[in-house]
């Protein structure tokens, strides 16, 4: 059923818990100390950890803090102790533990706690732990603090410049433990009052407002009038400007209302010192989402990525996430090496052919004669067409270079009238 790691220095307790959990149909791993627990966590991703507080080499609270700091707290952890105190339980919960079992552990209490931690939405639970780890890192911690501050005064928040995974991380920072979560982009039907009742006290999230269809716009209008009644917070994100969103077909009044209170996504360049912590945590989140196999980052590989200047409309986040995803999928070993990083960066850093001065001046003159909107569209069409040709139609590379999420990119193609020639290498390539 589930894979459970039991960490306790007492052999009798390890054996007893293993027998009970195995009888319930679970696969059980055991560790006699923190060192062995680290080894098992490094090679496996358990669905649940039962962690003793008092151990000879390192206490359970320190190990919990270590996992949290390294982005490895992606599973529910239940602390165990025969000398438990309220203060210890509170500290463990603050760090990320989901429950506390006092020894001697009653059988019914053990089974009830395990059942609660292994509820059907365990994958979402693990993702939430990965999100919590990310939100402890300086750059995203400040982002979450700004979101929380704004949410005190408004139930409607617009994450400007944010899209995809990072927008979701920001929105989830408002989600209280066990509170409902609803991604409006996944709803193809009309939202009802009954659905809002079921999600009362939770967070409603739209990851990209640009190009929102008629049903999504109707649902947003419906939700906006009922946020207070059901104690809901609505978080909407977009990498596009308000003008671009309106041009994509979204009602101007709706855009104005949704973007009244906005928070800007911080650029990666604002805090490059966070990257050594951020990169492993992002890898973990991508893995827990099922997007990539589990990977580690060699120190010299991490240092190369830390020194790269990540740029894009969203502050470089899409480019960074695209690079991590490609590295994890193409790496031949479990650990991403310096050679893997060098090969990826070289493939996307081919020299750009410079135009002659006369050709450049002529192109600019054409732009000067156009209305602003037409000039912008013409430039974007030239820009994207250039990168499509340069990458030989590889949309993953185009997304990395432009800093646009794939979904946003295809909408942009449709808006600008760019048609793509189908290539087997595109449809079968990595990063689809």
Please write the tens of the pLDDT for every residue from 301-352.
999 998 888 887 788 888 898 899 899 898 888 889 999 999 888 876 544 4
Q: With 50 as the cut, is the pLDDT of residue 429 above it?
A: no
C-alpha to C-alpha distance for 333 and 340, rounded to whole angstroms: 10
Pairing between β-strand 181-183 and β-strand 203-206 as defined by DSSP bridges: parallel
Question: pLDDT category, 152, cuts 50, 70, 90?
Answer: very high
Which pLDDT score is estimated for 120? 52
Query: One fold for both 139-264 and 268-347?
Result: no
pLDDT in tens, 255-295: 999 999 999 988 888 888 888 888 888 888 887 776 677 78
Contacts within 8 Å (CB) and 24+ apart, 340-343: 340/301, 341/301, 341/304, 341/305, 342/304
Percent of the chain with pLDDT over 90: 34
Are the C-beta atoms of residues 258 and 209 closer than 8 Å to each other? yes
pLDDT in tens, 362-408: 445 555 666 777 777 778 878 887 777 777 677 777 877 777 777 77
CATH superfamily of 139-264: P-loop containing nucleotide triphosphate hydrolases (3.40.50.300)
Are the C-beta atoms of residues 233 and 264 closer than 8 Å to each other? no
Percent of the chain with pLDDT over 70: 84
Q: Return the domain boundaries, the chain.
A: 3-119, 139-264, 268-347, 357-427
Highest mean pLDDT among 124-138, 206-220, 390-404: 206-220
More confident residue, 290 or 125: 290
Which pLDDT score is estimated for 351? 42
Question: pLDDT category, 124, cuts 50, 70, 90?
Answer: very low
C-alpha to C-alpha distance for 423 and 389, rounded to whole angstroms: 12
Q: Which fold has domain 357-427?
A: Arc Repressor Mutant, subunit A (1.10.10)
Q: For residues 412-427, give the mean pLDDT.
A: 59
More confident residue, 218 or 75: 218
Question: 3-119 maps to which CATH number?
Answer: 3.40.50.2300
Tokens of 194: 């009954």
Are the C-beta atoms of residues 431 and 326 closer than 8 Å to each other? yes
C-alpha to C-alpha distance for 133 and 180, rounded to whole angstroms: 20
Query: Which CATH architecture group holds 268-347?
Result: Orthogonal Bundle (1.10)
More confident residue, 374 or 147: 147
Which pLDDT score is estimated for 381? 79
């Amino acid at each position: 059923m589930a894979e459970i790691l039991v960490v306790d220095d007492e052999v009798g307790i390890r054996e007893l818990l293993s027998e009970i959990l195995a009888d319930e149909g679970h696969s059980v791993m055991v560790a006699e100390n923190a060192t062995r627990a680290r080894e098992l966590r490094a090679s496996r991703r358990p669905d649940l950890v039962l962690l003793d507080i008092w151990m000879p080499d390192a206490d359970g609270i320190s190990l919990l803090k270590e996992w949290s700091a390294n982005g490895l707290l992606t599973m529910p952890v239940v602390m165990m102790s025969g000398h438990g105190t309220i203060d210890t339980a509170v500290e463990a919960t603050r760090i990320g533990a989901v429950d506390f079992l006092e020894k001697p552990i009653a059988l019914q209490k053990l089974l009830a706690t395990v059942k609660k931690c292994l509820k059907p939405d365990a994958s979402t639970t693990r993702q939430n732990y990965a999100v919590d780890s990310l939100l402890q890192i300086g750059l995203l911690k400040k982002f979450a603090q700004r979101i929380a501050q704004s949410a005190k005064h408004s139930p409607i928040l617009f994450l400007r410049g944010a899209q995809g995974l990072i927008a979701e991380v920001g929105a989830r920072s408002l989600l209280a433990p066990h509170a409902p979560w609803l991604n409006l982009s996944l709803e193809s039907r009309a939202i009802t009052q009954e659905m809002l009742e079921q999600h009362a006290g939770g967070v409603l999230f739209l990851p990209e407002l640009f190009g929102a269809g008629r049903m999504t716009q109707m649902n947003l209008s419906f939700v906006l009038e009922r946020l207070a009644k059901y104690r809901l917070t609505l978080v909407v994100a977009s990498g596009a400007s308000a003008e671009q969103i309106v041009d994509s077909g979204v009602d101007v009044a709706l855009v104005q209302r949704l973007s009244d209170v906005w928070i800007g996504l911080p650029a990666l360049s604002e805090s490059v010192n966070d990257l050594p912590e951020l990169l492993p945590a992002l890898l973990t989140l991508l893995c827990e989402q099922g997007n990539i196999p589990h990977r580690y980052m060699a120190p010299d590989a991490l240092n190369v990525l830390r020194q790269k200047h990540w740029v894009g409309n969203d502050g470089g986040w899409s480019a960074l996430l695209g690079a991590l995803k490609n590295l994890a999928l193409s790496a031949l070993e479990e650990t991403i090496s310096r050679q893997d990083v060098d090969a990826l960066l070289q493939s996307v850093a081919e020299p750009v052919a410079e135009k002659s001065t006369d050709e450049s001046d002529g192109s600019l003159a054409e732009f000067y004669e156009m209305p602003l909107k037409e000039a912008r569209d013409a430039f974007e069409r030239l820009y994207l067409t250039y990168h499509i040709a340069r990458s030989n139609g590889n949309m993953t590379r185009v997304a990395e270079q432009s800093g646009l999420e794939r979904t946003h990119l295809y909408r942009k193609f449709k808006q600008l009238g760019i048609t793509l020639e189908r290539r087997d290498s595109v449809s079968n390539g990595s990063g689809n």
